[in-house]
Amino acid sequence: MSRFKVLIVCTGNTCRSAMAEGALRVLLEGKDNTAIDVMSAGTGAVPGCPATLNAIEASKTWHSDISGHHSRPLSVELIEEADLILTMMPNHYRDILSLRADAASKTYLLKRFPDLGDDGEGVADPIGGPLDLYNQTFLEIGEELGRILPEIMEMAEKKES
């Protein structure tokens, strides 16, 4: 039985998608649900960079430890492997479809989910900003993930059956 794979995409994979990966893992803890793997990548990521210090600090809000995170670039292989792709901004959505147009049916702008398309509000990049901005970004991402968690779990259960 293959696990349901969620891929979260931003630009550098050191702030937003790293925080989202950690937040979704925390939300899934204790859920006796299908096995769900969470991964993240960046459309412009340099391989192996750590999460920013402020992203690590902000993630602690939900007892999420992303201190061991290392960035990875978005690849065709990651897109193909994923069952669900969540993007932070419309340009990330378009970058994914430029690599694999057939990924349109499983790619969503985080704040627009469950509606397909790249027309909508994104999650602004806090890179270089103060910890307060990172905290605000983390909470924004966390609220969105909490909102869509039941649907993610339902999608995973459908794959399992």
Provide the 8-state DSSP code for 85.
E
Among all chains, which residue has been given the structure tokens 């925080």? 19
Strand partners, 42: 10, 73
pLDDT tens for residues 95-145?
999 999 999 999 999 999 999 999 999 999 999 999 999 999 999 999 999
Q: Count Cβ neighbours within 10 Å for each residue of 117-153 and write b for 16 or more, e otherwise.
A: ebeeebbebbbeeeeebbbebbebbbebbeebeeebb
Element housing 10 (H / E): strand 4-10
The highest-level CATH class for domain 4-154 is alpha beta
First to last CA, the chain: 9
Residue 48's CB is within 10 A of a number of other CB atoms, namely 8
CA gap 64, 77 in Å, rounded:
27
pTM exceeds 0.85 for this model: yes
- The answer to whether residue 161 scores a pLDDT higher than 60 is yes
Domain regions of the chain by residue span? 4-154
pLDDT tens for residues 53-94?
999 999 998 899 999 999 999 999 999 999 999 999 999 999
Half-sphere exposure of 50 (CA within 13 A, CB side): 10
**Residue 16 among the catalytic residues:** yes
**Residue 125 among the catalytic residues:** yes
Residue 128, C-beta contacts closer than 8 angstroms, at least 6 positions apart: none
Three-point CA angle 153, 154, 160, nearest 5°: 90
Catalytic residue among 25, 49, 100, 125: 125
Catalytic residue among 15, 16, 72, 95: 16
Q: What ranges in 1-42 are assigned the alpha helix state H?
A: 16-28
